[in-house]
Chains A and B, each alone.
Chain A
Amino acid sequence: MKVQELPREQLIKAQTLGASTWQMALRVVTPQILPRLIDSLRLQLGPAWLFLIAAEAIASDSGIGYRIFLVRRYLAMDIIIPYVIWITLLAFLMDAGLRLLQRKAFPWFASVRAE
């Protein structure tokens, strides 16, 4: 996920092809960083959901987290459990969507990561 992890040879090679700093950023660095950015986004999905639910529980008047905490005082598990399943499903779909995007938009990345 780091620009420094790109082999230095690649930047030198780009310079010998006449690339300016801007061109290197545009054609060499950014395209190789984007798929790694998706990886890191996928890792952050869990914490993002956790904080979303927590924030809705504390200060909100709508949302899944708000509803769960609304019915919590009645121990209405018949409502809470389906909402939890909804959260799982949504998070899973987001993850699958990001994976699909990574595979379609950066088909070269799988073999690079395997190295």
Chain B
Amino acid sequence: MAVLLLADVSEGKLVRDAVAKALSAVAPLGEVHVLVAGQGGDAAAAEAATLQGVSKVLFAGDHAYCHGMAEPTAALVVGLASGYSHVAAPATADAKNILPRVAALLDVMVITDVTAIQGADTFERPIYAGNAIQTVKSSDPVKVLTIRTAGFEAAPAGGSAPVEAVPGAQDPGLSQWIEDRVAHSGRPELTSAPVVVSGGRGIGSKEGFEIVEKLADKLGAAVGASRAAVDAGYAPNDWQVGQTGKVVAPNLYVALGISGAIQHLAGMKDSKFIVAINKDAEAPIFQVADFGLVADLFTAVPELTEKL
């Protein structure tokens, strides 16, 4: 049994944390081959080869695979899939786009957001925004999985797997990339940061988010947001944490002006420590918070930033 692990590559760089965590998740299944796709991805392929537990890196250096375009990348993966018992990827936006397409082309069901692998064909995944955990057994010949990485430790460096070039599949030319609108904040990445500070509707404005960012910077944290804050335009979409945003499990999650709707909890309730500041003592966020403070965030948060 061998696993084909599709690596996430962003702007030519290996999304190392996600790939290293997915790697530890699938390693018990057998030998792992990592597929790196995209022109100019040589460095990403070389980096993947240093992850402990990788036995081979396959590199398809064609432009068609850049920007995570689903149709050519799915065709590439399907072309390589024979001989593998499992095709997997970290559950990033790109993999969520590509792997269900791969599964359908292989006529198998995709198993998304896997949180635990119990055996070669048995997997756990959350349903209903994490309000239930389902254990499923697949009867398909190939298992196609996306791994929810938050609960896995990253595989360490120290490996030295060979990198092998593989020929690309034909680009069906069904879609075209136009542009990425990506902001670089210089802060740690949300899904891998050990500390996350998030703001909700209670922050009240885009300018108000400065309070959140100042505390985040003090703690060396990534910044997150609730959907309400994103919808209101206080924060960009890629900061959203929750059922339909990012799933995070940092050491410390600080929720400021967030009520704690189940859809938000779905994305952060596996954090090790949760601290909440809300002016409403009845807010459901306090039911999951280890430490709470009932206060107006506009006075409490600057004071906290100052005193920490």
A binds B: no
